[in-house]
Every structure is written in structure tokens, then in C-alpha cells.
Amino acid sequence: MSIIKEYIKISLKKTFTYKINKYLIFFEVFFDFLGLLLFWATLYHMDAVIANWTRVELVCLVGFNTLNNSVGSLLIAFRDIDYKITDGAFDSYFMKPQHPLFTMIFERANFFIVILFFVLGLIVICASAIYMNANILQIFLAVFMSFVATMSINILYAIISLFSFKFGRTTYIRDTIFVAKGLSNYPMDLFPQLVYKFCTYIIPLAFISTFPVKILSDANNMKTMLEYSLINVLLMLAFMAIFVLIWKKMIKLYESTGVSR
């Protein structure tokens, strides 16, 4: 735990080396959040009919996506794995007494951004939850569901990145697949049933924001939502198992001065 504390301290020190940075980062996070809100405000301005979704629910959806950005910022190191492997910089992570991936994640994360996204997301979620008369159990379950789904998606992202040990750069193919991640910004039940079911039972994008909002807005469907939570957790465990298997296989291919066999 103390090592994590040190990483956080170093990251914050780096961020605040130039005083202006903290304001700029604040603006960046704020505009990122504003962009999502503005999208829905524009659609309302255009008289779009967003069936079964109230304005508060849409704001709450934005809150969950902001929380998702927080986890994404924490795990941003997964984006750089292929660069580190192909140029041999991955070597440096074997010199330290922690797991290479642990070091990579905590060295790369900007904790100021992570905290800002987290606090902003949580404030929006809690404010919307109060407006929707949700209780503390609903809030907890919704945030937990969103967090687990976000982890699953990031693990899936990392799984594809691990193939860099074998194929070198995977950036293009990975980023193409993850264009579909944009789906989580929208209420998933607006899409055709096939897409909706795929994003529930195969790739848990619907659990990032759509289902959590439904948990907060309707206390009567808690039993169904608990069942969905179980599916969500099982999917994450499955992704984690695949990740560990592939990591063990791929790390054997690493040849220090760059990939690959």
C-alpha cells in the first residue's frame, strides 16, 4: 500500500511542477464532461425523442461515463504496452521488485486526472440519485456494476495489447475494435436487440452506464439487476482468467531488445 502512496505522491508532484498544469488539467476534464452533456442538450434542442429516458437519467448516464473515464485514466498504461515492447523499454519494468504491469500502470497514471474524473463522476451520480429518490444500496450496486464492467472492458483492451509480444504493434487493430466502446456513451436499449444483447452477455458495455442508471431510477427491479450483476462479475472473472493465461504465454516470447519471434 505504501508503494501505491509513493506513486500517487510522485504523480501529483510531476503534475504540479508547473502551476498552470493543474488549471489546464481541470479544464480538460471539465470540457470532456461538458462535451458529453452538450451532446444530449443538443439532441433535446433538435427535438429528439429519447424513449424511456428522462433528462436526469441522461445526466446520470454522463456521470457513469465520467466514472468510466476515471478508471480508463488509471489504466492508461495498457495503451502504451506495444510501444514499450517494440522499442525494448519494457526491460526496465523487470528491474523493479513489483510485477511489471503493476509498475507500468502506476508509473504512467496521472492521478490528478484520475481523481478529478472520479470526484466529478461521483458528484453527478449522487446528485442524480438523490433526484431520483434512490437509496444508498441502489447507489452502491450501480457504482459497483459500472466499476466491474469498466474493469472488464479495460482487461479486454489489455488482452489485445498483450498480443504485441507476438505481433509487435497492435495499436491499429485494437483501436479499431475499441471504436465500438463509444456505444457505452448512449442508452444501449435504444439500439437493436441483437446489439443490446451482445453488449450485455458478451462484451459488457451495457453495464458501464445503461444498467446502473436503470438501477437508480427503479427500485422495483433490484432482483433482476442483482442477477445482471452476477453476469457482469462472471464476465469480468472470465476476462481476468483469459488475461492471466495470455500474459503467461506471451511473456515467454519477450526477447528484451524488442519483439518478437
Partner 1 sequence: MIKLSLLKIKEAQTFKLDFFVSLISIFIKTIIIYFLFDVLFSDSNAVNSVSLTRYTLVASTISMSYDPMMYVCYELMGKINSSEIIPYILKPVNYIVYNYFEKVGIFLLRFAINITLVIIINALFFDYFSISRLIIGVYVTVMGATILFFLQFLIGTYIPHVKDVLILRDVIITILFTFGGLIIPVEYLPFNLDIITKCTMIPYIYSFPANVISGNPLRAMDFAMQFAWVILLGVLTYKSYQKNVSHNVEYGD
Tell me: does residue 10 bind partner 1 (CB under 8 A): no
Tell me: does residue 21 bind partner 1 (CB under 8 A): yes
CA-based nearest residue to 202, from 176, 221, 177: 177
Strands (E), 99-170: none
Tell me: does residue 38 bind partner 1 (CB under 8 A): yes
Please tell me the distance from the alpha carbon of residue 16 to that of residue 190, in angstroms, as a whole number. Answer: 43
Residue whose CB is less far from partner 1, 97 or 192: 192
Please tell me the distance from the alpha carbon of residue 124 to that of residue 130, in angstroms, as a whole number. Answer: 10
Q: How far is the CB of 144 from partner 1 (least distance, A)?
A: 27
* Cα torsion through 144, 146, 150, 152, rounded to 10: 70
For partner 1, the binding residue among 16, 27, 140, 201 (CB under 8 A) is 27
Tell me: does residue 49 bind partner 1 (CB under 8 A): yes
Of 38-46, 116-124, 217-225, 244-252, the segment contacting partner 1 by CB under 8 A is 38-46
Give ∠ CA 116-118-215 in degrees, rounded to 5.
Answer: 150
Tell me: does residue 136 bind partner 1 (CB under 8 A): no
Convert residues 164-203 into a mask of x (bound to partner 1 by CB under 8 A) and - (unbound). Answer: --------xx-xx--xx-xx--x---xxx--x--------
Q: How far is the CB of 201 from partner 1 (least distance, A)?
A: 19
Q: How far is the CB of 41 from partner 1 (least distance, A)?
A: 5
SS3 (DSSP) at 192: coil
Overall residue count recorded for the chain in this entry: 261
Per-residue 3-state assignment (H helix, E strand, C coil) for 67-99: HHHHHHHHCCHHHHHHHHHHCCHHHHHHCCCCC
Q: How far is the CB of 49 from partner 1 (least distance, A)?
A: 6
Please tell me the distance from the alpha carbon of residue 254 to that of residue 261, in angstroms, as a whole number. Answer: 8
Residue 109 is classified by DSSP as: -
How many chain residues bind partner 1 (CB under 8 A)?
37
Tell me: does residue 25 bind partner 1 (CB under 8 A): yes
Q: How far is the CB of 129 from partner 1 (least distance, A)?
A: 25
Write down the residue that cell numbers 454522463 correspond to: 62
Which chain residues interact with partner 1 by CB under 8 A? 18, 20-21, 24-25, 27-28, 31-32, 34-35, 38-39, 41-51, 172-173, 175-176, 179-180, 182-183, 186, 190-192, 195
